Amino acid sequence: HKTPVTVLGLGAMGRALAGAFLKAGHPTTVWNRTPGKGDGLVARGAVRTATAAEAVRASDVVVVCLYDYEVSRAVLGPIAADLAGRVLVNLTSDTPERSREAAAWAAEQGIAYLDGAILVPVTVIGTADALLFHSGPRAVYERHEGTLKVLGGNTVYLGEDHGLAAVYDNALLDFFWTSMSGLVHAFALAGADGVKGSELAPYLSALLSIFPPAIESTAVEVDSGEYPGEEAPLATEAVNVDHIIHASAHRGLDVGALSGIKAVLDRAIAKGHGADGWTATIEAVRGVR
């Protein structure tokens, strides 16, 4: 007998979550503001309710996946009494502060609360590779781990602090979005001189192979606060960044991100890190208000 589950929010991700529960044989109840988005799930055996309150009363485990925490508060606030005594798993993405606020609210209402984050696109949900983070009371997580792992084989419990799932999520997305914007910019820079994306792509892919060891060594340096820079001191790297800024500006390309990077480099050098390695820029990234 599989644990009955309710899914609130049937956007692209909510539908994927509900679909995974159905596929794994969990009795699944769904609700969405726009009910039509549940048609496909109902056809596959889900029960659709007219109100979020009815959906919540159908299961002891309630998974929420909405646009953001403001929407989540608007949906959950009025049905707190229905949620009391149940397990609420909020998989909506937002900030750690919002997660901790939601946890404080849930505690006041007598709701067992786990905060989660989804790190993969909808197509990967329900597979062994799907990465999801959870944080909140360990006992609650352990009791429902089997049900939660239906959504992704790579489901990780991070700790009791409800903000942790969002901390990891935000950090990974920080790396992802800044990398993606650099990638697009690189294509624009080479493209301005007639180089096709497909011509540059193999070299960008080859460059990626330096990242796994760079991540390992950067982690060691960040943790130790020592930033050896014999091979590539910041002062030299700053000149290279300047070249890219000038070449980009000359071609009429946006230099906002690169100028921001240069400003951080300059502050790190001003703080005396010119002979250190790139990781020393963390000293200039921190403490900005």
Interacting residues with ligand NDP (CB under 6 A): 9-14, 32-34, 37, 65-67, 71, 74-75, 92-93, 118, 121-122
How far apart are CB 76 and ligand NDP at their closest, in Å?
10
Nearest to ligand NDP of 92, 248 (CB atom): 92
How far apart are CB 16 and ligand NDP at their closest, in Å?
8
Nearest to ligand NDP of 69, 278 (CB atom): 69
How far apart are CB 102 and ligand NDP at their closest, in Å?
13
How far apart are CB 263 and ligand NDP at their closest, in Å?
29
Q: Residue 276 carries which side chain, given as an amino acid letter?
A: D
Q: Residue 287 carries which side chain, given as an amino acid letter?
A: G
Residue 37 CA to residue 17 CA, distance in Å, equals: 13
Nearest to ligand NDP of 165, 234 (CB atom): 165
Nearest to ligand NDP of 12, 249 (CB atom): 12
Distance of CA 260 to the CA centre of its chain: 23
Nearest to ligand NDP of 61, 75 (CB atom): 75
Nearest to ligand NDP of 74, 207 (CB atom): 74
Q: Is 272 left (phi over 0), alpha (psi -120 to 50) or beta?
A: left
Could you identify the residue written with the tokens 């340096």? 221
Judge contact between 288 and 271, C-beta under 8 A: no
Report the residue number whose CB is nearest to ligand NDP. 11
Judge contact between 64 and 87, C-beta under 8 A: no
Tokens describing residue 66: 């909405």
Could you identify the residue written with the tokens 């990781």? 279
Residue 86 CA to residue 66 CA, distance in Å, equals: 19
Beta bridge partners of residue 35, listed in sequence order: none
Residues 6+ apart with CB under 8 A from 85: 110, 111
How far apart are CB 177 and ligand NDP at their closest, in Å?
12
How far apart are CB 69 and ligand NDP at their closest, in Å?
9
